[in-house]
């Protein structure tokens, strides 16, 4: 399987779907857009880079950028001996992950097949990670840690959260944080808290 040229990757990353994100509202929005585009390029090449988009407010565009990265990864063509294929990527809301895990527990079904299905993807994006509002939280968190353990240092991983880095570190545990931070470094931990809430900006236009 051949990797497309940098120009082909750039042509997708620099156009749709990232042009739907308004980066002009704040310097931090422009920086977040740039970093997510860079992560997408690394992810397409299979480099195990990590990225944490966090904000303790709402409407800053974390989920929007995560979706853009997913769509871009899905749009970049790749030539194979069987024809054109597209890079495999998966985006999943943390709520859906924990719900699926809880359903497996309730039905006494094995968890491993579900985790293996997620791991078949070339890159994983986990949207809106949080630690409250789930049933059997300790057990479901343990399953998420197992997923992290298998992903870290092996596949590209992007996570969005309303937890700050210190809270996120406590939530996932020191070992997982150490491995995830090894994938992100300081430049891969993006604070989007100062970006204005786009929903409030949109509502203000109607007044």
65-85 pLDDT tens trace:
999 999 888 876 555 554 544
Task: Report whether 50 contacts 184 (CB < 8 A).
Answer: yes
Q: Single out the residue of 39, 41, 40, 44 nearest to residue 87, CA to CA.
A: 44
pLDDT at 136: 57
Give pTM, 2 decimals. Answer: 0.83
| Model pLDDT, residue 68 | 93
CA–CA dist 159, 63 (Å, integer): 9
Q: Which residue has the higher pLDDT, 175 or 9?
A: 175
Calculate the alpha carbon distances from 41 to 7, 8, 45, 138 in Å: 11, 11, 7, 35
Backbone CA torsion sign across 91, 192, 179, 132: negative
177-187: pLDDT as tens digits: 998 999 999 99
Q: Is there a contact between 4 and 76 (Cβ–Cβ < 8 Å)? A: yes
For the cut 60, the answer to whether the pLDDT of residue 40 exceeds it is yes
Q: What is the mean pLDDT of the segment spanning 102-113?
A: 80
Residue with tokens 């990527």: 89
Element spanning 98, H or E: helix 94-106
């Amino acid at each position: 399987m051949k990797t497309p040229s940098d120009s082909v990757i750039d042509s997708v990353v620099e156009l749709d779907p990232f042009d739907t994100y308004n980066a002009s509202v704040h310097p931090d929005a422009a920086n977040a857009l740039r970093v997510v585009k860079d992560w997408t390029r690394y992810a397409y090449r299979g480099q195990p880079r990590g990225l944490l988009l966090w904000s303790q407010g709402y409407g800053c565009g974390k989920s929007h950028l995560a979706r853009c990265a997913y769509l871009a990864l899905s749009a970049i063509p790749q030539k194979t001996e069987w024809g054109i294929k597209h890079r495999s990527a998966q985006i999943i809301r943390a709520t859906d992950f924990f719900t699926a895990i809880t359903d497996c527990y309730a039905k006494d079904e094995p968890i491993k097949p579900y985790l293996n299905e997620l791991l078949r993807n070339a890159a994983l994006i986990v949207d809106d990670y949080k630690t409250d509002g789930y049933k059997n939280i300790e057990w479901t968190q343990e399953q998420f840690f197992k997923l992290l353990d298998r992903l870290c240092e092996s596949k590209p991983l992007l996570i969005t959260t309303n937890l700050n880095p210190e809270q996120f570190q406590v939530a996932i545990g020191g070992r997982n944080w150490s491995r995830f931070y090894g994938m992100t470094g300081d430049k891969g931990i993006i604070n989007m808290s100062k970006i204005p809430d786009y929903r409030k900006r949109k509502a203000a236009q109607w007044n």
